[in-house]
Structure 1
Amino acid sequence: MTSMRVPLFTELGLYLVGSLMIYQLQTRYNNLTDERDQLQTRYNNLTRERDQLQTRYNNLTDERDQLQTRYNNLTRERDQLQTRYNNLTKEKGHIQANKINISQCVHLCSSTGQYCQEGWRYFDSSLYFLSTEKKTWEESRQDCLERGADLVIINSREEQTFVFNLHLRAWIGLTDSVTEGTWKWVDGTSLTTGYWSAGQPDDRGQEDCAEIYFSKDDPVTTWNDDKCGTNHNWICENVV
């Protein structure tokens, strides 16, 4: 049997076809590799953008929550201020009404020396209110303020004798609650002349508020320091 030999040009053609296919495959491989790298880059970029957006979202959420908190706080402060304003308006009305009542009885008190209306008494250009109940020093002062007055300030021996003769054990407008040992009147002035009982003030157990005793023999040695939370009668003064 005679063997058949592939012509040389046919072998060359096959070689060229194979080389072309390899080249095309390599080109496609390279292209796919480039596309993969580009897609990977785009994926990485999108991931970074997503993370940045998530961070911005979280930051905006935190800012929103902080603003909401500030808004709530401001709303509460506004409501508190409104309540304080309403209370002060009511107190102002009470004080004005009490001042009118006090002014109406000044003439009667100054001309007769008798007790004024609603527990007030007149002495040396001042009106004095004598309580019929007992309260702490702070509560007593608040009652005086609501009456358009304040706890009594004793400026002279004569006034001390007058207050003594009111026959009360009562709070007066003197305290060292701000600075221990520094006694000041409710108008902020420092005590210059005191009418303390012997051995007083002794500050036994934070006794920071002053009272006057009637049950002493000498009217000008009748003050005592006591705990401000103790309940006593009190005396208000309104200079007219």
Structure 2
Amino acid sequence: MAAFTKQNVQPTFSPGPSTDLREGSGCCSCREKWIGYQCSCYFISSESKTWKDSRNFCVSHNSSLLQIQNRNELYFMNSISYYYWTGLSYSEEHHAWLWEDNSTLSQDLFLSLHPVNPKNCIIHGPSGSVMDADCGNKYRYVCKQQLI
């Protein structure tokens, strides 16, 4: 553990990700390169993968592809300036769009979700845009780990 001096107690702003515990995240502390928000930790990728490879990466880090549960979380995600995979996919068995945990999509979250092809997976993008894309395409992804 490093000794603290007056200098490194002062607020500092750095361009890179902080390794400190995230302030304002409520009841969570997240590991390095993960961002805390409302008792969840998020990993925002800088590389592109297929939906399946993205999902496998998240699972290997004890998390899942992004599952948006409420409007606050949706607004938080709208600040990302590129398209990324979510954990939403079409279930032939249930004839519905489901998150990875098999919960249904809240109807008021994605008002513009009218996918052309239910064989595709869902990407979320800047300013809340949502669309379907071939699951074999490569996009960035967001992993989410709930801490409670």
Q: In which range does the TM-score fall when normalised by the shorter chain? A: 0.7 to 0.9
Q: Which has the higher contact order (CA 8 A, sep 6+)?
A: 2
Q: Secondary structure at the match of 1:238?
A: strand
What is the RMSD of the two structures over their aligned residues, measured on CA atoms? 2.5
Larger radius of gyration: 1
Unaligned runs of 5+ in 1: 1-104
Specify whether residues 186 and 165 from structure 1 end up closer, same or farther in structure 2 by C-alpha distance, changes over 3 A only: same
Q: Secondary structure at the match of 2:123?
A: strand
- State the one-letter code of the partner of 1:149: S
Summarize deviations over 1:195-225 as a string: whole Å, max 9, x none: 153x73121xx642111011x4xx3xx1111
Confirm or deny that 1:211 pairs with 2:123: yes
Distance in 2 between residues matched to 1:132 and 1:140, nearest whole Å: 12
Specify whether residues 108 and 183 from structure 1 end up closer, same or farther in structure 2 by C-alpha distance, changes over 3 A only: same
Q: Secondary structure at the match of 1:187?
A: coil
Summarize deviations over 1:117-146 as a string: whole Å, max 9, x none: 543111111100001110110100000011
Q: TM-score, normalised by structure 1?
A: 0.47
Structure 2 residue aligned with 1:160 = 74
Counterparts in 2 of 1:16-55, with a 5 A limit? none
Distance in 1 between residues matched to 2:67 and 2:25, nearest whole Å: 23
Give the number of the structure whose residues are more often helix, by fraction: 1
Alignment check: 8 A CA contact 2:25 2:37 kept? no
Counterparts in 2 of 1:103-182, with a 5 A limit? 108-111=21-24, 118-179=32-93, 181-182=95-96
Give the number of the structure whose residues are more often strand, by fraction: 2
Distance in 2 between residues matched to 1:174 and 1:112, nearest whole Å: 24
Summarize deviations over 1:135-171 as a string: whole Å, max 9, x none: 1101000000111100011011111111111223100
Match of 2:130 among 223, 235, 238: 223
Query: 1:110 offset after TM fit, Å?
Result: 3.3
Q: TM-score, normalised by structure 2?
A: 0.73
Distance in 2 between residues matched to 1:145 and 1:211, nearest whole Å: 18
Distance in 2 between residues matched to 1:180 and 1:202, nearest whole Å: 18
Alignment check: 8 A CA contact 2:24 2:37 kept? no
Query: 1:178 offset after TM fit, Å?
Result: 3.8
Structure 1 residue aligned with 2:144 = 237
Alignment check: 8 A CA contact 2:44 2:141 kept? yes
Distance in 2 between residues matched to 1:229 and 1:181, nearest whole Å: 21
- State the one-letter code of the partner of 2:33: G
Distance in 2 between residues matched to 1:210 and 1:196, nearest whole Å: 14
Q: Secondary structure at the match of 1:109?
A: coil
Q: Deviation above 3 Å: which 4+ runs of structure 1?
A: 110-113, 177-181
